[in-house]
Chains A and B, each alone.
Chain A
Amino acid sequence: EAAVTQSPRSKVAVTGGKVTLSCHQTNNHDYMYWYRQDTGHGLRLIHYSYVADSTEKGDIPDGYKASRPSQENFSLILELASLSQTAVYFCASSESGTKDTQYFGPGTRLLVL
């Protein structure tokens, strides 16, 4: 019973198309995050949220939107997918009191052609 799940686990998208990545957590955590990882690089923060119906920009938000409709769910939206957005995307959650101890999902491998 994984506490952070992501869907889909992998996806192939076309350039200019819309992509939605979903994340669900059962940790009862307030904070949720979206990171991307490119080959040979560390994870970089795209968006995060500390309460439902509110999202904040991370280090690399350009080209991405986020949505937090409930405490459990957090989506990452690519309105116009581009080749440069090919990466592995990780979702994570954390408690308010220990925000830097984060619990991660298994990742979504996105290939944009």
Chain B
Amino acid sequence: GDSVTQTEGPVTVSESESLIINCTYSATSIAYPNLFWYVRYPGEGLQLLLKVITAGQKGSSRGFEATYNKETTSFHLQKASVQESDSAVYYCALGASSGSWQLIFGSGTQLTVMP
């Protein structure tokens, strides 16, 4: 079936360090999946961080980047230098580009950035 696996948390890094949160997916019933990173800040709902719909393309937002790699079925989230304000829960998700509309989420990765 369709599924998403991501780095288990919690993850703790120091401010200005680099970050990578791994995400791999299985899209057996979705021919051309769209890939997403959502973020949930404390007390708020999930927000779309970035979306990539084409294999080989990179999405970026707020200093975060993720590249849609169809060969390795991966969509890792990276940031060169994190800030304390990046502390949140990050969710990788996949969705269909047509037909089915459902989002399939990973379990989330809790990130804490220490000052």
Which A positions have Cβ atoms within 8 angstroms of B?
Answer: 2, 4, 31, 37, 40-45, 58-59, 90, 92, 94, 99-107
The answer, among A31, A42, A106, for a CB contact under 8 Å with B45, is A106
- Give the bracket for the number of chain B residues in contact with chain A: 20 to 34
Q: Is the interface of B mostly helix, strand, loop or mixed?
A: strand
Query: Are the C-beta atoms of A90 and B45 separated by less than 8 Å?
Result: yes
Cα distance A104–B96 when bound, in Å?
Answer: 18
The answer, among B51, B95, B105, for a CB contact under 8 Å with A43, is B105
The answer, among A45, A104, A105, A107, for a CB contact under 8 Å with B102, is A45
Candidate in A4, A44, A102 with the most chain B CB atoms within 10 angstroms: A102
User: Cβ of B51: which chain A residues have Cβ within 8 Å of it?
Assistant: 101
Other A-B pairs, 7, CB within 8 Å; known A100-B95, A103-B48? A2-B45, A42-B104, A100-B101, A104-B38, A104-B40, A104-B45, A106-B45
User: Cβ of B104: which chain A residues have Cβ within 8 Å of it?
Assistant: 42
Query: Are the C-beta atoms of A42 and B105 separated by less than 8 Å?
Result: yes
Query: Which residues between 37 and 76 of chain B lie within 8 Å of chain A, taking CB atoms?
Result: 38, 40, 43-48, 51
